Amino acid sequence: MGLAGLTGLAALRDGLIGAARAPWLALILYLTNLVPAGLVALALGLAAADRPWLLGVFGGDWLNVLVELAAAAIADGRPAEALGAALLVPLVLGVGLLVQGLLYALVAGGILERLRGSGDGAVSFRRGCARWFWPFVRLGLLGMTLFVPLALFGVLALAALGDVLGAGGALVGAVAWLGVLGGWLELARAGMVARGDSRAAHALGRAARLALHRRCLIHLLPAWLILTALGLAPPTAQLAVSDGSIAGSGLGEVLAQLTLLSGAWIKVARLATALALDRRLASLGPLR
């Protein structure tokens, strides 16, 4: 890996330390992730405490709940309800993802401003949210139009190589590819805040040039891949600990919420690492 790769690991260390020093940022992100679940609960009329679906919705499994409702209606011979649930799945999914994306665009700016510290031009969390909301919405819309085809291309290419890589190798490669694409978007967000530049297309282009440059790629890959692995750890641990005896129980729901909270903390760590990578890459000087 060499000293260059170690610089990327140093940025990862800085990001993890920065996230650990501000756990309240992860709590804010965790709470915003519960808002789409609440909207789904309202849409499905699940507010009553005696409904068994409610805990599943707030356990981060609201899409699966929608599918189960449709399947249960079909199995019980209620075609009208089955059709309604089936039509509700894409509608609620679309609204839920839209709301979640807008909320993330709102809080990400505040998180990055707080992680950036008290340097020149630093603002409060609240002002950071307001300042970067619309620029991050533009970045999200533009970024996803590029992310989706790139993600599909990479996943399909790895699937086509399944005979060579094996099913496990193809899956690991697909997860790593998605983690790299996510790191690209986070690097673009961090670059916007670090430079006070609200141009979304410019930020995405700069992050792409950094990611594709051989001097920078060796810094970025170790951090992105390790963070991707860390992001998989909480849900994997939940699956390993959970079994039929606690599924749907109070302990199972506690584990689900801890998984969501730890996932929010790792997301903050990814943003903090993106800031550290941006700062360290800038110290390399102009790219040639």
C-alpha span between 196 and 174 (Å, rounded): 33
- Give, in degrees to the nearest 5, the angle at Cα 229 between 171 and 212: 80
Amino acid sitting at position 67: V
Task: Tell whether 192 is covered by a domain.
Answer: yes
Give, as one character, the DSSP assignment of residue 286: S
| pLDDT per residue as tens digits for the range 106-150 | 999 999 999 987 555 567 899 999 999 999 999 999 999 999 999
Note down the domain range covering 26. Answer: 2-282
Asked whether residue 287 is assigned to any structural domain, the reply reads no
- Residue 75 falls inside a structural domain: yes
Q: In the numeric block, which tokens belong to residue 24?
A: 């309240």
CA distances from 241 to 181, 235, 250, 275 (A): 30, 10, 14, 34
| Tally of domains within the chain | 1
The answer to the question of residue 175 being in a domain is: yes
Cβ proximity of 137 and 105 under 8 Å: yes
- Number of CB atoms found within 10 A of residue 175's CB: 17
pLDDT band at 2 (very low <50, low <70, confident <90, very high): very low
Confidence of residue 164 (pLDDT cuts 50, 70, 90): confident
Q: Answer whether residue 40 is part of any domain.
A: yes
288 inside domain:
no
Give 86-100 pLDDT, tens digit per residue. 666 667 677 777 888
Q: Is 219 part of a structural domain of the chain?
A: yes
- Confirm whether 193 is domain-assigned: yes
State the greatest distance between any 2 C-alpha atoms of the chain, in Å, as a whole number.
67
pLDDT one-digit tens code per residue, 6-27:
678 889 999 999 999 999 999 9
Provide the whole-model pTM: 0.83
Give the ranges where 78-124 is alpha helix by DSSP (H). 79-116
